[in-house]
Amino acid sequence: MQSRKQKISSAKRGEPLELSPEQERLLKEGSYGERKALELLIALGDVYDASKLIPVTSVHISGASYKTIGDPGLRFLSEICEGCRAKVKSTVNPIGMDRERFHEMRVSEEFVVKQKEIIGYYESLGVLDSWTCTPYLIGNRPGLGEHVAWAESSAVIFANSVLGARTNREGGPSALASSITGLTPDYGLHKEENRKADVLFELEFDLEEKEFAPLGSFAGEICGARMPYFKKLSATEDNLKTLSASLASSGSVSMFHIEGLTPEWELGLKEECESVSVDRKDLEEIADSWNTEDDPDLVAFGCPHCSTAELGKLADMLKDGWKGPELWVCTSRAVCENIPETVQLINKHGKLLCDTCVIVSSVEDFSSTIATNSGKASTYLPTLCKQKTMFADAETLVRRFQ
Amino acid sequence: MILKGRGLSKGIGEAELIVSSEPVSFLGGIDAETGRILDEKSDVFGESIAGKVFAFPSGKGSTVGSYVIYGLALNGCAPVAILNERSEVVVTVGVIISEIPLVDCLDLSLLRTGDRVKVDGSEGSVDAEGVEEIHVVTSFLENDGRILLLKRSELVGTYQGLWAGVSGYLEKGDQAYERAVTEIAEEVGISNPKLLKEGEPVCSRDEKTLWVVHPFLFHVDSPEVKLDWEHKEFKWISPSQIPEFETVPRLPKTFGAVVQGLRPSDGET
Q: For residue range A157-199, list pLDDT tens digits in order.
A: 999 999 999 999 999 999 999 999 999 999 999 999 999 999 9
Q: What is the C-alpha to C-alpha distance for residues A189 and A194, in angstroms, rounded to an integer?
A: 6
A36 and B97 within 8 Å at the Cβ level: the answer is: yes
Residue B137: list chain A partners with CB under 8 A: none
* Those residues with Cβ within 8 angstroms of residue A359's Cβ, 6 or more apart along the chain or in another chain: A303, A376, A377, A380, A381, A384, A385
pLDDT of residue A64: 96
Range(s) within chain B of domains with CATH label 3.50.30.10: 2-127
Helix (H) or strand (E) holding B180: helix B176-188
Look up residue B171 and give its DSSP letter.
Answer: P
Catalytic residue of the set B9, B21, B62, B240: B62
pLDDT band for A8, please (50, 70, 90 cuts). Answer: low
Q: CB count, 10 Å around CB of A275? A: 11
Do strands B6-9 and B12-19 pair parallel, antiparallel, or not at all (unpaired)? unpaired
Mean pLDDT value across residues A315-321 = 96
Residues written for chain A:
402
**B42 noted as active-site residue:** no
CA atoms within 13 A on the CB side of A74: 16
CB-based contact A402:A323 (threshold 8 Å): yes
Given a contact cutoff of 8 angstroms between Cβ atoms, the answer to whether B110 and A54 are in contact is: no
- Measured between beta carbons, the chain B residues lying within 8 angstroms of A3 are 132-135
- CATH class of segment(s) B132-267: alpha beta
Q: How many CB pairs under 8 A join A and B?
A: 125
CATH class name, domain B2-127: alpha beta
Contacts with B24 (C-beta within 8 Å, 6 or more apart), sequence order: B30, B39, B42, B56, B58, B59, B60
- Distance in Å, alpha carbon of A359 to nearest chain B alpha carbon: 14
Looking at chain A, the whole-number percentage of residues with pLDDT higher than 70 is 97
Nearest CA in chain A to B174: A2
CATH 3.90.79.10 domain span(s) along chain B: 132-267
Distance from CA of A101 to the nearest CA of B (A): 27
- Report the pLDDT value the prediction gives residue A7, as an integer from 0 to 100: 62
Say yes or no: B93 contacts chain A, CB-CB below 8 A: yes
Average pLDDT on B52-72 reads: 92
What is the predicted ipTM? Answer: 0.80
Are B32 and A72 an interchain contact pair (Cβ–Cβ within 8 Å)? yes
Count of C-beta atoms within a 10 Å radius of residue A28:
8
Residue B165, C-beta contacts closer than 8 angstroms, at least 6 positions apart: B138, B139, B140, B141, B148, B149, B150, B215, B251, B254, B255
Burial of A391 per CB tally in 10 Å (0-12, 13-18, 19+): buried
Interface contact B5-A1, CB threshold 8 A: no
For chain B positions 192-211, those within 8 Å of chain A (CB to CB) are 201, 203, 210
What type of residue sits at position A81? C
Quick one: pLDDT band at residue A304, thresholds 50, 70, 90? very high
Most A-contacting residue of B3, B31, B64 (CB-CB within 10 A), to test interface = B64
The total number of residues written for chain B in this structure: 269
Q: Which of A7, A12, A173 sits opposite B66 (nearest CB)?
A: A173
Q: Is B30 on the interface with A (CB under 8 A)?
A: no
Query: What are chain A's domains?
Result: 21-191 (3.30.499), 196-286 (no CATH), 291-400 (3.30.499.10)
Taking the Cβ of residue B70 and every Cβ of chain A, the question of whether any pair is shorter than 8 Å is answered with yes
Q: Which of A345, A346, A377, A344 is nearest to A363 (CA)?
A: A377
Pairing of strands B6-9, B102-104: antiparallel
The mean per-residue pLDDT over the stretch B209-237 comes to 96
A39:B105 CB<8 A:
no
Do B187 and B230 touch, CB atoms closer than 8 A? yes
- What is the tens place of the pLDDT at every residue in A249-269? 988 899 999 999 999 999 999
Task: Give A1→chain B minimum CA distance, Å.
Answer: 6
Residue A72 · residue B70 · CB < 8 Å? yes
In whole angstroms, give the CA distance from residue B193 to residue A396: 83
- Chain B nearest-CA distance from A287, in A, is 25
Sign of the Cα torsion B229, B231, B234, B237 reads negative
B92·A44 Cβ contact <8 A: yes
User: For the segment A198-245, what is each residue's pLDDT rounded down to a tens digit?
Assistant: 999 999 899 999 999 999 999 999 999 999 999 989 999 999 999 999
Chain A hits for B85, CB-CB cut-off 8 Å, are 11
Q: Do B133 and A1 touch (CB under 8 A)?
A: no
Percentage of chain B with pLDDT > 70?
97
